[in-house]
Amino acid sequence: MTVHGERENIPSVAKDEAPKALKRFTDTYNKAYRELDPSLVGQVETGPLQDISTADLKAQHAQTPGGNPNASPLKLSDARYIIPKQVGWPKFFVADTESNRDDNRWLLVFTRGGADEPWKAAYLSILSRDEVPDFQIDKDGWAKPVPADGGTPKLTAGPEKLSGAYTDYLMTGKGEVFADGGSTSGLRTTRKKYLRTPKFWTEYIDTAAQGARYAPVGLRLNDGGALVFFASHHRQKQTMAKGYRPNPTPQIKALMTGEAKKSVTLTRISEAAVRVPARDAADPKVVFLNRLEGVTAAKGE
């Protein structure tokens, strides 16, 4: 009997296939960082995670063209797979793992757009053990996904609205969606310090991530809320005062077009894991559990 993933509500990945996807990711990731080859991560990553890794490898390669054979390999172990039942494509699942990098849990979101495509990691979030939430799991061991198309009336904010709400908040400070913290009120406070200084002034532009490549994904939690992963875009232009000249780092120089005589514009992408409360929760604010950001391009003027 043939089961059609585009029509039936089935697990997004077979339980024996998920570990293979994680191993393929780890093996290719380690090879990419040994050889400092940006093209390799495209085989096992997509979306914001690929954008960050590609830029990082490009910068490292520019400084060490021969590769880094002594790169410490990433090891992911003690994996738990949170696999939702889904209808249609794309599909996703989450690998919740131990890492040899630190004492936290690494959550990797794997996605694919069709049965003939390989699984690729789109999001990485690093959470303390206490921050990993209790996912809603049915009697057969399957998780419950959160629709990313506006069909989530039981949450205080739908996954499809988070990127826009977040970037609007960073630009204006307005909105009651997000709880205070380092990625919200703290980030705006930090930015204010650099808006105008004796040596330079800074402009910020934040925009929502759009398109299938940056689609948010979410999983229901036992308390009725959801864990949602989403991406957003950020630009920062730093213009030097008279008598000063930009001094970008070697990594930024490796990604730069143009010549930094007066200003440098950095393009960044961020990926975040947030806890979205149920609509009837006592505290309706969305809480950032983790946010990773990377520079993907630079322009000197």
Tens of pLDDT along 205-237?
A: 999 999 999 999 999 999 999 999 999 999 999
**Rounded to an integer, what distance in angstroms lies between the CA atom of residue 86 and that of residue 93?**
10
For 119-145, what is the mean pLDDT? 97
Query: 83-123: per-residue pLDDT in tens?
Result: 999 999 999 999 999 999 999 999 999 999 999 999 999 99
Report the Cα 193 to chain-centroid distance in Å. 26
**If we measure between CA atoms, which residue out of 103, 89, 101 comes closest to residue 12?**
89
Burial of 245 (0-12, 13-18, 19+ CB in 10 A): exposed
Q: Does position 172 have pLDDT exceeding 50, yes or no?
A: yes
C-beta pairs of 171-179 under 8 Å, 24+ apart in sequence: 171/204, 171/205, 171/206, 176/284, 176/285, 177/285, 177/286, 178/285, 178/286, 178/287, 178/288, 179/283, 179/285, 179/286, 179/287, 179/288
Residue 25 within a domain: yes
Q: Does position 4 have pLDDT exceeding 80, yes or no?
A: no
Instruction: Kindly indicate the confidence band of residue 3, based on its pLDDT and cuts at 50, 70 and 90.
Output: very low
The DSSP result for 80-148, as a single string, is EEE-BEESSSSEEEEEEEEESSSSSEEEEEEEESSTTS--EEEEEEEE-TTTS--B-B-TTS-B-BPPS
- Which pLDDT belongs to residue 9? 87
Tokens describing residue 182? 């380092």
- Which residue shows structure tokens 């049965």? 115
**Rounded to an integer, what distance in angstroms lies between the CA atom of residue 158 and that of residue 28?**
34
Instruction: Kindly indicate the confidence band of residue 282, based on its pLDDT and cuts at 50, 70 and 90.
Output: very high
Burial of 300 (0-12, 13-18, 19+ CB in 10 A): middle
Tokens describing residue 256? 């730069």
- Which pLDDT belongs to residue 8? 82
Helix (H, G, I), strand (E, B) or coil at 194: helix
Helix (H, G, I), strand (E, B) or coil at 163: helix
Residue 3 within a domain: no
**Rounded to an integer, what distance in angstroms lies between the CA atom of residue 211 and that of residue 22?**
25
- Which pLDDT belongs to residue 6? 58
Instruction: Kindly indicate the confidence band of residue 150, based on its pLDDT and cuts at 50, 70 and 90.
Output: low
Domain count, the chain: 1
Residue 194 within a domain: yes
**Rounded to an integer, what distance in angstroms lies between the CA atom of residue 273 and that of residue 292?**
9
DSSP H helical ranges for 173-257: 185-194, 250-255
Task: Please state, for a pLDDT cut of 90, what percent of the chain lies above it.
Answer: 94
- Which pLDDT belongs to residue 151? 63
Alpha-carbon dihedral of residues 272, 274, 279, 282, nearest 10 degrees? Answer: -140
Residue 1 within a domain: no
**If we measure between CA atoms, which residue out of 193, 301, 195, 197 comes closest to residue 241?**
197
Domain enclosing residue 131, as ranges? 10-300
- Which pLDDT belongs to residue 105? 98
Residue 4 within a domain: no
Residue 5 within a domain: no
Residue 37 within a domain: yes
pTM: 0.95
- Which residue shows structure tokens 């739908």? 158
Instruction: Kindly indicate the confidence band of residue 1, based on its pLDDT and cuts at 50, 70 and 90.
Output: very low
- Which pLDDT belongs to residue 104? 97
- Which residue shows structure tokens 């650099």? 194
- Which pLDDT belongs to residue 176? 86
Query: 258-276: per-residue pLDDT in tens?
Result: 999 999 999 999 999 999 9
Q: Which residues contact 212 (CB under 8 A, 6 or more apart)?
A: 90, 113
For 53-63, what is the mean pLDDT? 97
**Mean pLDDT rounded to a whole number for the chain:** 95
Beta bridge partners of 105: 98, 127
